[in-house]
Amino acid sequence: MNPKVDWFFEKDTQWQAAYQRLRSIALDCGLTEALKWGCPCYTFKASNVVLIHGFKDYCAYLFHKGALLKDTEHILIQQTENVQAARQIRFTTLQEITDMAPILKAYIHEAIEVEKAGLKVPLKETSEFSMPGEFQKAMDNNPALKAAFKALTPGRQRRYLLYFSQPKQSKTREARIEKCIHMILEGKGLNDR
């Protein structure tokens, strides 16, 4: 157990007992506990394997390379269509976790084997993401914006494309693009400050 993570398990939440059980299962598998993204993350030789997180309706194990797991029990969930590598196993009760403990350990051991083998999730190329017409128009009208966008890392490009594509209304897409132009010109990603 990593004392820097204890606060997560001590906070008053509806998932406190479930979090404790998920923690013990991960640690029983020989993983190292760390705090990443404000959540307990369990690693094998510094590679992220599984993370514990919670939401209003459920808590979950998030397998960082879950797309590579066999999922023999058909319990892995892709959070959204844009999530490429990670997969969740969701829980709504402590009893569920207790009943599934052997299965959860098997999934964790499989995820460790994925890390040992050095497997990587094949990610979509940036060109495979849809380009909102409003953003294409903005780049066509502003060569500096186009050059700055192309200079961004592929991950930053994809994040912007997803962010710009989400709204249903063109006006909202245009507002998002306008708000982000200065960040792109500065070479910053959507979440960079």
pLDDT band at 180 (very low <50, low <70, confident <90, very high): very high
Compare 81 and 58 and report the one with higher pLDDT. Answer: 58
Q: What is the CATH number of domain 3-116?
A: 3.90.1150
Residue 76's nearest CA partner among 55, 100, 99 is: 100
Take residue 74 and report the two structure tokens written for it. 């058909």
Residue spans per domain, the chain: 3-116, 126-185
Query: Can you tell me which residue has the tokens 């910053």?
Result: 188
The whole-angstrom separation of Cα 95 and Cα 37 is 27
Residue 89's nearest CA partner among 109, 112, 63, 56 is: 63
What pLDDT, in 10s, does the model give residues 35-59? Answer: 998 999 999 999 999 999 999 999 9
Average pLDDT over residues 118-142: 88
Take residue 95 and report the two structure tokens written for it. 């009893």
Mean pLDDT over the full length of the chain: 93
* pTM of the complete model beyond 0.75: no
pLDDT band at 178 (very low <50, low <70, confident <90, very high): very high
Residue 112's nearest CA partner among 68, 82, 170, 164 is: 68
How much is the pLDDT for 193?
A: 67
Average pLDDT over residues 143-163: 92
